[in-house]
Amino acid sequence: MQISFHGHSVVKIITASHTILIDPFISGNGQTDLVASEEQPDVILLTHGHNDHVGDTIDIAKRNDALVIATFELARYLESKGVRTHAMGLGGAYEFEFGRVKYTQAFHSSSFTTADGEIIYAGMPGGILFTEGGKTIYHAGDTALFGDMKLIGEQNAIDVAFLPIGDNFTMGPEDAAYATELLKPKVVVPIHYNTFPGIQQNPYGFKELVKTSEVHILKAGDKIEL
């Protein structure tokens, strides 16, 4: 399995048979190396409805007939726009042909803002546990620190965790470092920082705080092989 980071919270997973995009915020993302019109995923996983996570989902999904997996209200909204979806709820897991997806809780908000400024309620935000071939990836989405991360770490042998460190809207470096202690991943990757004002952080400061896991600070396009 190949995992790559593409700026902000965009993660791509390539298995032996499928390409999966998580939170494909590409257009308008000054940190990414991707071009939305060139992406050909089989599956898109969404943590929540904010525009800097849903991003180019509708256009990419329609062009590739990609399956979009999201929490219930967000999935229903995207379905109304002609996207093929699979709705899930927090705590629920499902075995797909490409791997197992489970949604965890996240403490944040979730809405989608349309081009004319209408705010669409998008249900609960979530984190995502993706498991395939005996390897587990945790993408926390946008979240505050919460105590049940300890349970997530105890119940899952996490190989790679993607945690936000931007502060202001999500955990900052100190809370993300504590979350790493609770989750106990083999590798942790900081995400959701330096994309726009308000979330400026030094990832190497986060790295210095983490004592229990390897920290990989990835640039857009960098890969991890599992």
Q: For residue 222, what pLDDT band results from cuts at 50, 70 and 90?
A: very high
The set of residues, in sequence order, having a beta carbon less than 8 Å from that of 118 and lying 6+ positions away, is none
What's the pLDDT score for residue 90?
98
The letter for the amino acid at 153 is G
User: Is residue 190 a part of any domain in this protein?
Assistant: yes
Gap between the Cα atoms of 209 and 205, Å rounded: 7
pLDDT 10s digits, 168-194: 999 999 999 999 999 999 999 999 999
Gap between the Cα atoms of 83 and 118, Å rounded: 20
The end-to-end CA distance of the chain, in Å, is 5
User: Is residue 204 a part of any domain in this protein?
Assistant: yes
What's the pLDDT score for residue 194?
98
Count of all residues that appear for the chain in the document: 226
What's the pLDDT score for residue 189?
98
What's the pLDDT score for residue 10?
98
User: Is residue 226 a part of any domain in this protein?
Assistant: no
Task: Report the CATH number that the domain containing residue 7 is assigned in CATH.
Answer: 3.60.15.10
pLDDT 10s digits, 44-100: 999 999 999 999 999 999 999 999 999 999 999 999 999 999 999 999 999 999 999
Q: For residue 1, what pLDDT band results from cuts at 50, 70 and 90?
A: very high
pLDDT 10s digits, 97-155: 999 999 999 999 999 999 999 999 999 999 999 999 999 999 999 999 999 999 999 99
Total domains in the chain come to 1
Gap between the Cα atoms of 136 and 159, Å rounded: 5
What's the pLDDT score for residue 7?
98
Gap between the Cα atoms of 24 and 58, Å rounded: 10
159 backbone φψ class: left, alpha, beta (φ>0; ψ -120 to 50)? alpha
Q: DSSP code of 175?
A: H
User: Is residue 111 a part of any domain in this protein?
Assistant: yes
The letter for the amino acid at 86 is H
Q: For residue 18, what pLDDT band results from cuts at 50, 70 and 90?
A: very high
Phi first, then psi, for residue 2 (nearest 5°) are -115, 130
Which ranges of 117-165 would DSSP assign to H, the alpha helix?
149-155
Gap between the Cα atoms of 49 and 143, Å rounded: 13
What's the pLDDT score for residue 37?
98
Range of the domain at 68: 2-221
What's the pLDDT score for residue 104?
98
71 backbone φψ class: left, alpha, beta (φ>0; ψ -120 to 50)? beta
